[in-house]
Structure 1
Amino acid sequence: MSGAEPRRCGWPTGDALYLEYHDAEWGRPTTDADLLFEKICLEGFQSGLSWITILRKRENFRAAFADFDIERVARFGEPDVERLLGDAGIIRHRGKIEATINNAQRAIELIEAEGSLVDWIWSWAVTEPDRTDEGGIPATTPQSAALAKELKRRGWKFFGPTTAYAFMQSEGLTNDHEPDCFVHDACEAERVTFLANR
């Protein structure tokens, strides 16, 4: 029996946390609005940083932001902002912290208007992944630009087209696992089932 590693996408490093994220989370849908909100927020915090930095701080983020409970984060005020700015366990960027609180408030408005954050987000799913002319994965797509534009119109912050596309990948709105990656087919099956049940 071979002890060879399974074939994965090329982007995760040999870091065990990164590999676990790739294998068990990236590209897999969630039905939980708070977890979906967490994904959106962490993608915003990642802007300009490496994703492994965010993964290593994720438990700290969860503790600092009340497990990304949308209702609770929406009630955060200036004392919470100051508390978060003093928390060395997270990314201490005032704009990103304030955007997270703002986006929780906007998420509540979206839920009130549309009925479900999860269903509304999944209305942006793509049927076929976009590829560059060279066959690679793009940084943005027309769909991610449209999603970012719509959320901006609704008052969301720190969620541009590149962040939107990274979120779409992580949530499974597009399946950007390489075709020969050992989790590609499982993620696609989850995605198709999830879309069929919306």
Structure 2
Amino acid sequence: MEAICYFFLGATKLEPKEIALIGSERITHDRRVGTLLKNLDGRKTIPMQTTFETALDQHEISEFFKGNGIYFARGSDWGDHLYVSNWAEMCGVLETQKAAQSLLSTIFEEYARYLNENYEDAEGLLSNITAYCITRQKSPFLSADNYDLIKSLDNKSKENIGRLFRLLRKEYDIKTKDLQMLSFEQRLQKLKSNGCSINLENL
């Protein structure tokens, strides 16, 4: 986190006490990431054009990853949220930044760290990680220098991911038994085929 702050120091001229506050509170953390992205390269303000930039500006990173409200991307006739669409948009913004990987890790931690231990949040997490693996094949910065988003997360985020995947092991197939959907094991295998080498249940 500190390294990210220093990267932006020249452009934003943060005071030492501001740097110390970054990451200390969820809302403060989220607000600072949005502010930093808007003030890159010494420019005063970059107009918010994408829903991702809006999420940063409005401190709604969690809502963005969940696809709530204006962050919902319709993906089918069934009205499902298309997670990969939000990931493509987000990466289109991040890939222009020098600290793109560090920013993504920080932003995803904001989402994963505060997920509740329930089926809805767990299934959304699975869909987001699936979207990450798919997008990774199309956005070079996601795999540059052997970067792995899940491995880069802090311990609290990893532990929460592990808890939620263990919950899915118990509940996913029960919840979807009457739907024409892949089984939980099949979705894990799809993750592996898309490059995920981590046993997410063991985190």
TM-score, normalised via structure 1 length = 0.31
Q: Give the TM-score normalised by the residue count of structure 2.
A: 0.30
Give the helix-richer structure, 1 or 2. 2
**Higher RCO (CA-CA < 8 Å; seq separation 6+):** 1
